[in-house]
Structures are given as C-alpha cells and as structure tokens.
Chain A
C-alpha cells in the first residue's frame, strides 16, 4: 500500500483516500456554488428594475430553474458529502471510508451530471425552464427537448447520492474505533447517519418521478396527463415526498456542524446531547409525513389540509429544541468570536428566523396567501443559505487549519463574514415584504409597487455574491501562504478525535484505532 498520495492528475482521478475525495467534493461544490451564484446574479440583475432589460422571459425561467437545481444538488449536497468524507473517519477513529472505490465513483459521476445539466442551456429550445420543482405537465408535455438530458442528469446525481449514503452508513456502523459507542459519536456523525438514511429512502422516489416523466414524454404513458387518465397533482405528491425530506437532507448535516462549532468557541460541552440526537431522529421521521404542506392550494380535501397543517406544525417542536440547546450551550460559556463562531451564531439567528417563517407557512389558511409568493422565497433562503451555506462556510473556516496545516487570516475571515451577513439580509429580508405585498415568485417582471424592495434585494444579492470572491481568495491564500499551525488541537476549546491527529492531518490517519475513553 502506498504511503503517500500518487503524483499529478492521477492522484485525483483514481484516489480512494477519504481526504482527497473530501477535497474533490468541496472544490466541486464551491465551483457549482459560483455557477449557481452567477445564475442568481442574472436573476437579480433582471429584477433590479421593473421591465425586461437583460434577458428574455424564457431565459429568465431557465435561470431560476438552473439556479435552484445547481445550488441544491451541485453546491449544498456535495459540500456536506465532502465534509462527511473528510471528517467522519477522523471523528470516529476510522482509517478511511468503508467503501473507498465506490467513494471515488460517487464523486466522479457528479462532474458529468452537471456538465450534462448545464449543457442543456446551449441546446435548441433552451434548458429546463420549469422550476427546480419541475411540476408536470410544464415539465413533460410542455417541456423543451432538453428535458431528457435533465432527467438523465437527475438520475446520475441520484445514483451518486445513494452511493454516498450507503458509504456513510457502512462507515459509521462498521468502522467506529473500539469504545466509540453510538451515543458517544459527535453530532455531525449522528446527523449524517440519519441524513444518509433519508437519502436512501427518498432518492429512489425522485428517480421514480423523473422516470415517470420520461415515460410520459417519450413512451406514451399518462402518469401526469389528465387526458390519458393521469393526474398532474400526482406528480406533486411524488415530488414533495422526496422534496420535503430533501430539505432536511440539506439542513441536518448543517445542524451537525453547528453542534461542533458552538461548544468549541463557548468552551463548554454541547447542551442536551441526547435530546439533540432524538430531535434529529424526530425531525427525520416527521419529514416523511408533512410533504403536502407544499400543496395547500392544489385543492386537497379539507381533511388533508388539516392533517398536513397539524403535522407540519409539529415539526417546529424538535426544531425548536435544537435552537434552545445551542443557545443554552452558549449560555454561561466562555465565548470567543473567531470566524467559524461568527458564522455559527449567524446561523442560529437566521435559521431561527427561517424556522419562524416556516411556522407561519405551516398555518394552512395563511399559506393560501404566502404560497408561491416571495415570502416562501425568503423562507427557504433563510434556512438554506443562512442555514446550510453559512454552516458549510463555518465548517470550512473551522477545519481548514486541520486540513492544510495553515491558519486563515482572521481579519479577512471576519470581513468576509460581515459582508456576507449584511449582504444576505439586505438581499432576503425585503423578500418577506415583497411576498406579503403580493409579489408571486418566479416572475421575470413585476408591477411597480414592488420596485423598491426588489432593487434593495438585488443590491444585497450583489454584495453577498461579492463576498464569495473574498471567501475564495481567503481559502486559497490560506492554503498557499497561511501561517503554519502545528498544534494537533487547533482551537483551544475543541473536543473530539479529529483534534488528536497531527496538523495538517496526514494522508493516512488511524491506521491503528485510537482508544476512546
């Protein structure tokens, strides 16, 4: 067995090393974040003023669709799989992932999937233009021809996610160091274990949905076509049966990251560890039985509306428990404000705001007004950007010194944080107002009373976008020329096995399992 990495490009193409694959995932995710971000900038530039200035409505629709797809499947999900690859073996004292070759495959599928997806933009008739939720029949009968490539790309992403999930489950269940009982695992490992089960459960459902689309489009079936005895609403049920768990697939690993960072910089153990684990499990379970809260206006029977309203309200309870636990962890700690902690604190505040709007959306009669308006757009950006993306950013600052043995520049980190935090809020807080005042989402152009807040929102979006350039610069500057760190425990208050290996983490770690007290 080789003791160091192979040389050149082969190292990356053929690697089975969890750290290399983690790195690949993270860079891929960041690249997709920039691509998806570019699409967002186009959207916000068009919406800067009323009237159509820069793009056509059909291209605008392709941008909203591709932005959503690239961010969800290309940026956020791979970012957390990357973190899982890097950190889970280090956290449970395993030498690598359980299935290293499959690990390589599950990564290398992704660039091809996204190449295909983005290539659709250049095809005749344009790329997918039916929203990231691709409701039939807009995505079937009325779709551009490129929809077949879109379906193929979704299949590839699904295959990649399923392999990643299997790998994580196998690793966590089989490769823990002796003494690392389940209830001693760091929360990041717990949340990922549960997320992996969610992935296994719902990615096949998504695959089923796109396959049914494929059949409707090419082979004369009518799953979603009323004229042939099908039902367009069936599509939405299937999609959201995948889609709601999907939002928790996105946020649970983020919870794990935050549950690692807050104790470190509060210098105090996580409050309510076991209730955190149970809350995660409860959220995961509930996430399967609330899907139709995305469909309060489709004309479900009254009983259905009421049931999905109650179930959705319920999910706020375990989510609340998490927030209370984080805050109590900070309470009476000895808090310091390094960049990862700043992002974690912002996460707690902004995710909570997103949770509040979630609770508002859960009230079905009110959702009649909120639904498909900018209020929903604000909600999910608070939970997905200020939630998942902020936590991913926090994770990078937190573990980067361990990964590359160099410290990032704290001033630059803080600058990045403040620009991102302010930009994010200027971009997305006014969207609550827009939605409440009656602006529907996915609009290429809008009435004049929405002009002011749209302009403010666009300005915020540009600021937030610019902050990412700073982030990229920070990370590269750290890797290339950051101040070297030698201590195994980079952060004073950090706990866990990952801080017992040397810094930078050697290519192979835990060849012999560590002792866990």
Chain B
C-alpha cells in the first residue's frame, strides 16, 4: 500500500501517479476497483452475479454507444450529411423491447437461486446475537454465556491527525468477533436504539439491525483470517466509527477461545464481591468512560450543547447516587442514553460512576463499589 499521510500536495501527486498506473502499484490499485471475491459460497455467488450483470451492461453499452458515436461522427451537419426523415418502425421498437426483457429473464434465474440460498438460515452450527448500539456492536454467543462489546480501537488522536494513522485505521476493534471456519454461523441481528446495518463484504453479508426486531443471516467462512466490515446504515454521529472485525479460526482454536472467554466472564463476576480503592476505580473508570461514554459526553465531560448533556457539574452526577445508578444502568428510554446495565460488568459500572462523580471537577468524594451496583440491580 501507498503511504497515507503526506501533505495534500504530495498525496495528490501520488494519486495521479497511481492513476497513471505505475507498474508496481498496479496490483494494489486494481484491488480498489472491483468487488472482492470473498470467502463464503454466498459471497462468491454474489460476485459471479455482479460480474455477469456487469458484462451484460458492458455488452449493451458497447452496442448502443457504438451506434451513437458512429452517428455523431458520420452524420454530422458539418460533413454535409443530410437528415433522413424516418421516425418510427414498429418492428424495431418491438425488438428492442422484447430482447432486453429476455436478457433480464435469463438474469433473473441465477439471481433467484442465489437469493434463496442467501435466505436459508436453517441448520446453523452456532448462533451469534449481534446487537447494534450507538456506536458499537455487542456479540453474544447464544447458549454459551459469552457476551462482549466490540468497539472502535482507533484512538481519537489518529482521527484528528495528532498521530500517524495505523494500518487498519477505523477498521480495528478492541474485541473482534471470533467464529470457527467451516461451521455455519447464524447471525441474529437487532439494535437497541436506531437502525444499524452489519456489513462484512468478504462474507457477502449485510443485514439491518433494527430495534425491536430480529433479523437473520448466515455465513460459512472457508478461509481462516481476519475480515473487516462496517456499519452500513446511518446511525448518528458515530456511524463511521463502529467497525466490525471478524476473526475466522479453526474449530479447535475457536473452542479454546470460547472456553477462555467463559472463564474470563466468571472471573469478572467474581470481581463483583471485591472492594476497590478509589484510585483503582478512578483509573478503571477513566478507561471505561473514554471507551463507552466519551463519544457523547466528550472526554472533557462537557458534552455537546443541545444534544448530549455535560457530566461536569451535572445534577445527576453530583446528586444522589441512586439517580446516577439508575440512568447509567437503565438508560433513559427515548433518548440516546442507553441502558449500560447489560453492556458493562458490575466492576466497570462502579468504576465509571465513581469516575463521573469525581472527575471533571465534580469532586463528590463518593466511591461506588461493584457490590453497590449489584445490589442496586437486584433491588429493582
């Protein structure tokens, strides 16, 4: 790949050079022109349909534009061409209605077959519930008790140009989805706030995640690897910042990974009973805050006027603890403030609440322990 971060002028020169198809860059450059083939049967069929319809269009285009260009050259007034006066021909007109119709019918057959396959979500080996939030994904391995959030890992400093952009800029996450190669994985998609869409081009999978409804799609990945995708439905300010990363690994490796995740979940649960110091909670809380809350309330806690309230001096974040617990755990229905009770562990909830109550000059001195959060949840 070409270096990505020069000054505009240099970059312009580079793209012009690429345009001129400089030989070493050619291979790279061609990859950016067409749909990649993908690593599932469905994605290959989609690619084949795409190429078929593309060549059909090219063929029609060549015929039509040749006639047109021929006329534009041969039938110019400046060449002294005299206009003919014909203005209809039933036979020709019927022909160019019927022929395209026949081509389309021929095209509809494979398209129908592919569509039927795409919709066949039966007999899955693994079910993953994918939940879209503003602006992150949650993956839950149904029946395995494993669930985690997957959020953008690219730091703001790269986005705002303070730091060099890394190779997978905006296409990297903290916790990728891991699935086994060769198994039929069914994705159940839903959302908790607005509509998102889960798109992994290499799988030929794109499906809307709609609040209140569950959609289904599936993939059987054939090649191990890391596959990157994006949210494809406008979902607010973080729309471009909620990528998807899927690691497809051999079954054995997947089983190990899943077992480790289960252990991790149990360990996290065990932490609920532990008592933390203020410093520990503040450090952990800052991390959680910057990852899960700063997109709206901003790193400096000042929010965005008129859209996202500030944490700095907020009556809730400096008022009674129960109100603060309530809004973070349960969210506020009908607003962008989500229920974090199911997204974050007790420890993280305790940490972030402690952080909000003491950072940004809030200085309430309150310390919230995981057990407090646990009791609050139980008491509801």
Contacts and interface: CB of A to CB of B under 8 A. Distances in A.
B67 interface: yes
Nearest to A309: B111
A130 B195 CA distance: 11
Given A270-B87, A369-B206, A453-B32, A309 B108 contact: yes
A51 B108 contact: no
B1 A449 contact: yes
A481 B89 CA distance: 45
Given A299-B216, A433-B33, A349 B104 contact: no
B169 A50 contact: yes
B84 A448 contact: no
A288 to B, nearest CB: 19
Interface stretch (A95-103, A359-367, A398-406, A414-422): A359-367
Interface in B55-82: 57, 60-61, 64-65, 67-68, 71-72, 75-78, 81-82
A321 B32 CA distance: 34
Given A332-B71, A445-B240, A448-B167, A436 B83 contact: no
B82 A334 contact: yes
A484 interface: no
Interface stretch (B12-20, B254-262, B358-366): B12-20
Interface string B204-238: 11111011110110000000000011111111111
Contacts of B336: 142
Contacts of B252: none
B64 to A, nearest CB: 6
B88 A274 contact: yes
B114 to A, nearest CB: 4
A273 B61 contact: no
Interface stretch (B139-147, B266-274, B299-307, B316-324): B299-307
A85 to B, nearest CB: 29
Contact of A447 (B168, B205, B305, B335): B168
Interface in B3-17: 4, 8, 11-12, 14-15
Contact of A138 (B71, B230, B235): B235
Contacts of A110: none
A437 B49 contact: no
Interface string A287-318: 00000000001110010011001100110110
Interface stretch (B154-162, B286-294, B369-377): B154-162
Contact of A53 (B161, B232, B335): B161
B232 A371 contact: yes
A52 interface: yes
Interface residues of B, number: 112
A243 B50 CA distance: 25
Given A436-B33, A442-B239, A447-B169, A452 B93 contact: no
A496 to B, nearest CB: 15
Nearest to B56: A359
A210 B104 CA distance: 36
Interface stretch (B115-123, B174-182, B347-355): B115-123
Contact of B232 (A131, A299, A373): A373
B87 A272 contact: yes
A433 B160 contact: no
Interface string B164-203: 0101111100000000000000000000011101010100
A334 B81 contact: yes
A285 interface: no
A61 interface: yes
A192 B223 CA distance: 55
A166 interface: no
Contacts of B77: 267, 334-336
Contacts of A333: 71, 75, 81, 83-84
Contacts of A439: 230
Interface string A313-346: 1101100110110011111111111000000010
B15 A352 contact: no
B35 interface: yes
B170 to A, nearest CB: 5
A16 interface: no
Contacts of A455: 11-12, 15
Given A273-B88, A360-B57, A232 B210 contact: yes
A374 to B, nearest CB: 11
A434 B87 CA distance: 42
Task: Give the secondary structure class of B's interface.
Answer: mixed
A272 to B, nearest CB: 5
A365 B4 contact: no
A349 B68 CA distance: 9
Contacts of A476: none
Contacts of B49: 363, 365-366
Contact of B84 (A124, A126, A268, A372): A268
Nearest to B196: A138
Contact of A352 (B29, B45, B64): B64
B197 to A, nearest CB: 6
Interface string A444-481: 11111111110110010000000000000000000000
B96 A232 contact: no
B249 interface: no
Nearest to A135: B195
A273 B87 contact: yes
Interface string A182-205: 000000000000000000000000
Contacts of A272: 87-89, 93
A268 B83 contact: yes
A275 interface: yes
A438 interface: yes
A368 interface: yes
A233 interface: yes
Contacts of A270: 87
Given A225-B212, A363-B49, A459-B12, 11 more contacts: A48-B8, A135-B234, A142-B336, A313-B104, A317-B97, A320-B100, A324-B96, A332-B83, A366-B111, A437-B32, A449-B1
* A-B pairs, 7 with minimum CB distance: A226-B212, A125-B306, A124-B306, A299-B215, A356-B57, A443-B240, A365-B114
